Structure 1
Amino acid sequence: MTWIAALPMYNVTPALDLEWREWLDDVVRRVKPACRIVEPDEELPGFWRRPNLLLSQTCGYPLMHGLHEQVQLIATPRFDAPGCEGAHYSSVLVTRADAQFDTLAACRGARAAYNQDDSNSGMNVFRHAVAPHSRAGMFFSAVLRTGSHLGSLRAVADNRADVAAVDCVTFAFVGDVMPDLARRVRAIGMTAASPGLPLIASGTVPPATIEALREALNETLEIRPERAKRLRLQGFSVLPLTDYERIEQLENEARAAGYARLG
C-alpha cells in the first residue's frame, strides 16, 4: 500500500502552504518514507476516508458526524493564537472595520457569511452563538456560503456580508501574513470553545505507527523551533473521542433554542 498525507486546513497563503508541506514531509519521513504528500483530488469527506491515509487534518464536525467510524485520532495541535486554550479553540466573530456593529446581538437583520455547512468553527459555533438572539428560528436577513474562512473574511471586508465566525487560528495567520485584509475587519466577540482540528489516520494504520506518528510530531517541533513558531505550533494533545462530543452539545443547544440552521 502506498500511503498518502495532506494538511488541507490552514493553508492561508502559498508560502504558508509550503511551510506546512515541509513540516508534514519531516513528520511522515520519520515514520513511512514511502508516504506521498498529495493535494486532495476529491471532496475532503471522501479523501479523509481513504484506507491508505497516513496523516491528515479534519474538522471536528464531520468527525462526529460519521467520520470517526473510519479514522483514528492521532493528536490535536495546541496553537499559540488568541482564542486557543490548550487543544481547544474558539472562533472570532468579525465585522468590517468601519461597520456599525459592536456586538453579535446588534447584528440582527444583518448579512452573515460562513464557510461550509459541515464546519464547526464557521457554522456550528456561529449557530450556537446566534441561537439565544434568534426569533422563530431567524436572525439574519441573508446568509452567504463562501467555501472557506478566507472567503468569509473577504466577503465581510468587501461589504458582501456583515458578520462571520472565523476559526481563531486562521484569523491569527491572516494577521501574520495578510495584514491588509486583517486591517479591514475587526473582532466583536468570540464563540464557545471546543476541541481543535484533529490530526487523523485511516483505521487501517497499525497502532505502532500511530504511536510513531505522535513521537514524530513532537520531534519535528524540537528540531525546527523557528518553523514551529511561524506555524504557531506549541505541541500536541492526545484527546479521547469523547472530548469531541462537545461539538454535538453545541449543536444540540442551538437546536433546542429553535435555531437549527443559520438564518
Structure 2
Amino acid sequence: MDKKQLRFITYMCPSHPVELYELIMHYLEEKLGCEAYLIYESRSSGPLPGRIDPFTKDIVDIAFLSAEAYIEIIEKKRTDYAELLPVAAVFKHPKNRIAKPGYYSDIIIHTDVKEHVKEFLDLRGCLWAYNNENSLSGSTIILKTLKDLGENATFFGNSLKSGSHLQTLRMVVNKQAQAGAVDANSLQYQRQFLHDGGKDIYILDSLGPLPPYPILINSRLDAKLKTKITEALLEMTKTGFWGERFAKFGIQHFTHNSPDNYMFGKEILDNAKKTGIGIRYY
C-alpha cells in the first residue's frame, strides 16, 4: 500500500527561513509515516489574489500563512475547504514570559542613532521602512500605535516599502532607512547572518503580542489524520532531538490555537483600512 502523501505550502518566506517549514514537514513525515513535499510561494503572505485557491482546487493539504492573510480568508468566506488547524507555535521572546502563542513586532534602529532616539516618539520625521501595507507586524500595528499616541502616518518623514521583513532589516543595517518594524522571529533568526551578529541593530521597542501564525488544513482530509497532525505537533518537545532542532528557529513548543485568537488582529486591520503607512513627501 502506498504511503499517504501530504502537500505543504508556505507563504512565510523569505521573511521566515524556508528551513523552518522544511523541518516541520520532515518532523510530520517521521511521526505520521507519510511522504510530503513543500511548495514555496514568496510573492504573497497568503493565497495570491486572482489565482486559483489552492484549497478549493485541492492542490494542498497544509498551508503556513500570515495572520492577516487568514483574517482575509475568513472575511471573504473562503473557508469551504480550508480550516484552522487547532495548534500554533510558541516562540521565545523577552516579552513572552508566560509562553503564549503569538509573536511580536520589533521596532529597530541603527545603533548610530541610538543616542538621539530613546523612545518611539523620537522617530518623528525619520525615514521609515516597512515590508508591505497589510502586514500586521510591519505596518498596521504601527498605525495603531500612532493612533493611540494621537498621531497618524504623517508622523514619519518618509516611508519606503521594502517588500519583506528581511529587506527591512537590511535597509536599516545599510542605513537606507533610519528605522523600521520587523517580525521579531525573523529578526532573531537573521541576526546570526549579519556582521558581528547584528551589533548595528538596536531594538527600540517590541509591540504585541500579535495573533499566532495560523496553520490551515484541507477540510477534505480524514478527521483521524487531522487529529494525528495536531497531536504530533503538540508532542514535538517531548523528543529532545526534534525539540533542539526547532529551538534553533526560536520555537519553544506548539500549543492549542483557535479562531478567537485572531479577533484582535482583525480589529487592528479594520482600524488601518482608512489610512496607510506608505506616504511619501517630496
TM-score range, shorter-chain basis?
Answer: 0.7 to 0.9
Q: Does the CA contact (< 8 Å) of 2:46 and 2:70 recur in 1?
A: no
- Gap change, CA 1:76 and 1:49, over 3 Å in 2: farther
TM-score in terms of structure 2 length: 0.79
Aligned partner of 2:208 in structure 1 is 192
Please point out which of 115, 122, 127 is paired with 1:106: 122
Q: Does the CA contact (< 8 Å) of 1:77 and 1:196 recur in 2?
A: yes
Aligned partner of 1:73 in structure 2 is 84
- Gap change, CA 1:192 and 1:199, over 3 Å in 2: same
Aligned partner of 2:258 in structure 1 is 240
Q: Does the CA contact (< 8 Å) of 1:93 and 1:164 recur in 2?
A: yes
Alignment of 1:23-102 (within 5 A): 23-31=24-32, 33-40=34-41, 43-46=44-47, 49-51=53-55, 52-66=59-73, 69-70=78-79, 71-74=82-85, 75-84=87-96, 85-99=99-113, 100-102=116-118
- d(CA) in 1 for partners of 2:102, 2:254: 11
- Quick check: 84-93 or 104-113, which moved more? 84-93
1:203 matched to 2:203 = no
Give, in angstroms, the shift of residue 39 of structure 1: 2.4
Identity percentage of aligned residues: 16
TM-score in terms of structure 1 length: 0.84
What SS does the corresponding residue of 1:117 show, helix, strand or coil?
Answer: coil
| Structure 1 residues without counterparts, runs of 5 or longer | none
- Quick check: 199-208 or 28-37, which moved more? 28-37
Aligned partner of 1:161 in structure 2 is 177
Please point out which of 153, 161, 174 is paired with 1:145: 161
1:261 matched to 2:266 = no
- d(CA) in 2 for partners of 1:219, 1:177: 30
Give, in angstroms, the shift of residue 196 of structure 1: 1.9
- d(CA) in 1 for partners of 2:44, 2:102: 26
- d(CA) in 2 for partners of 1:8, 1:240: 20
Alignment RMSD? 2.9
Give, in angstroms, the shift of residue 152 of structure 1: 0.4
Q: Does the CA contact (< 8 Å) of 2:11 and 2:42 recur in 1?
A: no
Deviation digits for residues 73-122 of structure 1 (CA, Å, limit 9, x no counterpart):
11210012234341022211111111132211111111111112232111
Q: Does the CA contact (< 8 Å) of 2:14 and 2:166 recur in 1?
A: no
- Gap change, CA 1:19 and 1:57, over 3 Å in 2: closer
The amino acid that maps onto 2:46 is P
Alignment of 1:210-229 (within 5 A): 210-223=226-239, 224=241, 225-229=243-247
- d(CA) in 1 for partners of 2:200, 2:229: 39
- d(CA) in 2 for partners of 1:143, 1:43: 20
